[in-house]
Amino acid sequence: MSGDVHACEIRASDADLEDLRARLAAARLPEAETVARAAPGRRRWAQGVPLADLVDVVNHWRTGYDWRSFEARLERIGQFRTTVDGLGIHFLHRRSTRADATALILTHGWPGSVAEFVDVVDELADPDDPATPAFHVVAPSLPGFGYSDKPATTGWGIEKIAAAWVELMGRLGYDEFVAHGGDWGGVITTVLGGRFPAHVLGIHTTTAQAPPGLSTDGLTAAERAWTEETRDFWGRHAAYAKQQATRPQTIGYSLVDSPVGLLAWILDKFAEWTDTEDSPFERISRDRVLDDVTLYWLTRTGASAARIYYESHLSLDPGLRVDVPSAITVYPRDIEKCPRAWAQERYRRIVRWRTPEAGGHFPSLEVPGYFVRDLREGLADVLAAGR
């Protein structure tokens, strides 16, 4: 029955884990990058992931990383599946013990997964302080990601995913809810707020999306710098997005066949998009990055996840407006930074705006303590504004 929601236990086979270790041991690696081997710094990464860094992570992945520990953490939270529009959707669901809790859907992006939220779910659901807002937390895997099914036809873009999330939340008994997301999750959260105000009480996003064609007139010097950095990112650092938006199948063969290729493709983004001086592991442990990468590997979703770019790249409706209360946080080392004046052209009721001093594209992993506080406070303001 399509409306059925059932608990599921996810467990990789021993054979798949042994195959992963064998492939890592037999990996063929290129020579080292031809960049100056100076002191630690971003210049070391000018051609992508440095060989020495990759070898270190590959060795740990093969001999030290424990996937079973991650599986156990998912199981403790609670894993479920349901079918929406013919597609199986996997999601984490942690109900709060608090009677006053509000339903919250968390949506990840690429190259993320539900692994981004595993360490923050419990704090959001059952905070120690009874005066702190509590949430019934739902964290679905995007179509084609993780243990959700892979779409066999086109059409699973941001609009259809947002509608599927409303259906999912309704099946769980949450006719009204708040939503958070970053990266593609931020775009989907924007669609949720704009298209479904009867169900969405308000939103929090770290990836605000301004309408196209806005002028820089009137922006502060800092805001102009943001727009220049964002334009530079899309002009000089977004080859991955163009590849996945135009030829996801081609890159998909490498991502599904080679664990080292998959690791390098994803690690490159963790390195470039985090608030660090040299290595992403200054803020995120190797194990947390490998939780994410191994999830892609075991589910063979390198190609299917890349297709969200083919479905949705530059597809956000330029006329979409969000009238529900919105809280927006712009982290200093994120890849897209939207000035408030621009954001206000789409999000018509911004009730909270924050620009923290630290953090990048993966705040729940980089600065989890701040992320939880900011999300709680932002959603508290959103809920207060909607009363």
The percentage of residues in the chain with a pLDDT greater than 90, rounded to a whole number, is 96
How many residues can be counted in the chain?
387
Above 80 in pLDDT, residue 37?
no
Q: What is the model's pLDDT at position 38?
A: 65
Q: Are 105 and 200 in contact (CB under 8 A)?
A: no
Q: What is the model's pLDDT at position 257?
A: 98
Q: Are 265 and 323 in contact (CB under 8 A)?
A: no
Which residues face 328 on adjacent strands?
205, 353
Secondary structure (H, E, C), the chain: CCCCEEECCCCCCHHHHHHHHHHHHCCCCCCCCCCCCCCCCHHHHCCCCCHHHHHHHHHHHHHCCCHHHHHHHHHHHCEEEEEECCEEEEEEEECCCCCCCEEEEEECCCCCCHHHCCCCHHHHHCCCCCCCCCEEEEEECCCCCCCCCCCCCCCCCHHHHHHHHHHHHHHCCCCCEEEEECCHHHHHHHHHHHHCCCCEEEEEECCCCCCCCCCCCCCCHHHHHHHHHHHHHHHHCCHHHHHHHHCHHHHHHHHHHCHHHHHHHHHHHHHHHCCCCCCHHHCCCHHHHHHHHHHHHHHCCHHHHHHHHHHHCCCCCCCCCECCCEEEECCCCCCCCCCHHHHCCCECCEEEEECCCCCCCCHHHHCHHHHHHHHHHHHHHHHHHHC
Q: What is the pLDDT of residues 196-230, one digit of tens each?
A: 999 999 999 999 999 999 999 999 999 999 999 99
Q: What is the pLDDT of residues 246-300, one digit of tens each?
A: 999 999 999 999 999 999 999 999 999 999 999 999 999 999 999 999 999 999 9
In whole angstroms, give the CA distance from residue 382 to residue 204: 8
Above 90 in pLDDT, residue 35?
no
pTM for the structure as a whole: 0.97
Domains of the chain: 5-24+48-386 (3.40.50.1820)
Q: CA neighbours within 13 Å on the CB side: how many for 233?
A: 16
Residue range 34-39: mean pLDDT, rounded? 77
Closest CA to 307 of 85, 149, 115, 107: 149
Above 50 in pLDDT, residue 1?
no
Q: Which residue has the tokens 């408030």?
A: 340
Q: Are 328 and 381 in contact (CB under 8 A)?
A: no
Mean pLDDT over each residue of the chain, to the nearest integer = 96
What's the pLDDT band for 2 if we cut at 50, 70, 90?
Answer: low
Q: What is the pLDDT of residues 41-91, one digit of tens each?
A: 878 999 999 999 999 999 999 999 999 999 999 999 999 999 999 999 999
Closest CA to 141 of 117, 114, 168: 114
